[in-house]
Chains A and B, each alone.
Chain A
Amino acid sequence: MAASVEIDERNGAPAGTLVHNITNSNMGSVDDDSLDPLSFPITPGDSSFEKWQQFHVTNMGGSSKVYNLKVWRTTALGANASHVTNARETSYGGAPTYATPTDSVSSVATQAMPTTEPTGPNLGIGGSLSGELTATGSSDYLVHQIQTTGSATAGASCTMHYQYDEVA
């Protein structure tokens, strides 16, 4: 058996609500998991609410460690939009402390989301890219946001990739 891993998302004022095993990562103008982007679109020129998400190992399944976390997006965004994140392979800023997600320009998510698989880990565990989970627990927060200009066009449907390695 392999480890069981879910993606969780925290919303609201700290400590907030931790939604386990989210079904999608739709970005929009409300701080909710699995939001309906038709009901909560991003107005051109505005930003989406930040997403604060974590890898969460719910069962080690006989594995000894989960590590090497990688996050990236495939499929292009709509025109005049950018996707930013705290995930990065160099100059990683450590584990961010949860704060109420904002739809102002994020001060945490400041680098472009990779659009191909990163070479090495770009999300940490315990504040370090070389961190490991050896029991049930969670990664650092992945913070990401869509930012647009006034010329942005209607949104795109993209795929987020959340990848990890485990040692049996």
Chain B
Amino acid sequence: MPSHPETHLCGRCRAEFQDEEEYFAHECPKTGLSPTDPAHFGRRARRASQAALERGAAAQEN
């Protein structure tokens, strides 16, 4: 049994949440998006994600 209740914090906007569901549901003011939206993680993450999809597609063709 934890000695303290768990707290969730958004690393972008620093808002606090009681649980993961609340965190997932919030619209981060820093990005205007929820953490379940890939665009929430920024352009660099989007580029990495796109590159991964392209590598996967190329691997399937070969």
Query: Which residue numbers of A lie inside 8 Å of B, CB to CB?
Result: 1-2, 4, 6, 8-9, 12-23, 33-34, 58-59, 61, 166, 168
Contacts and interface: CB of A to CB of B under 8 A. Distances in A.
B36 A59 contact: yes
A166 B52 CA distance: 9
Nearest to A98: B2
Contacts of A58: 24, 35-36
B43 to A, nearest CB: 14
16 contacts: A4-B36, A4-B38, A6-B35, A14-B3, A17-B7, A17-B9, A19-B11, A20-B9, A20-B11, A21-B11, A23-B11, A33-B11, A58-B24, A58-B35, A168-B53, A168-B56
Interface in B1-52: 2-12, 23-24, 35-38, 40-41, 49-50, 52
Given A2-B50, A4-B37, A23-B11, 13 more contacts: A4-B35, A4-B49, A9-B11, A13-B4, A15-B4, A15-B6, A18-B6, A19-B9, A20-B10, A21-B40, A23-B12, A33-B11, A58-B36
B-side interface mostly: mixed
B29 to A, nearest CB: 14
Contacts of A23: 11-12
A6 B38 contact: no
A166 B55 CA distance: 11
